[in-house]
Amino acid sequence: MAIESGLDRRCTFVALGSGVIGDIYGYGAASFLRGINFIQIPTTLMAQVDSLVGGRTGVNHKLGKNLIGTFYQRQSVLIDTDTLNTLPERELASGFAEVIKLGLIGDTESFAWQERNMDALMAR
């Protein structure tokens, strides 16, 4: 569709949505004209956390997860934490699991803060 629309290297792909949307648009931005600008606006906590890690875009194939993809840095990531108020409890909890995982891996102070404040975080 980008080709048929006559888009060129001056265009920017903007991904508004979940991690799947970000991955698809990121892969498209990396592939179209060998790379164009890409802005991500993640709307789930999981996507917000993943987009901040930076540069990974992956598309699943019937033979496995993330078999097609690239590393391609976004021009920017815009996060509106108010979108988290629209998430079902399970989706929010799934995102917090990702936050906790990152805290366990590399930031013990962050993890300790999360542990002390999880009830307030889940209460929104």
Structurally, at CATH architecture level, domain 1-82 sits in: 3-Layer(aba) Sandwich (3.40)
| pLDDT value, residue 82 | 92
Residue ranges of domains in the chain = 1-82, 88-124
- In this structure, what token pair is assigned to residue 27? 């892969």
Q: Between these two residues, 45 and 110, which has the higher pLDDT value? A: 45
Mean pLDDT of the chain: 90
The span from the CA of 114 to the CA of 36, in Å, is 37
| Predicted structure pTM score | 0.83
Amino acid symbol at 23: D
Tens digit of each residue's pLDDT (9 = 90 or more) over 62-93: 999 889 999 999 999 999 999 999 999 999 99
Residue holding tokens 């496995």? 64
DSSP sequence for the chain:
-TTTTT--TT-EEEEEESHHHHHHHHHHHHHGGG--EEEEEE-SHHHHHHHHH-SEEEEEETTEEEEEEEE---SEE---GGGGGGS-HHHHHHHHHHHHHHHHHH-HHHHHHHHHHHHHHHH-
| pLDDT value, residue 124 | 67
| pLDDT value, residue 111 | 85
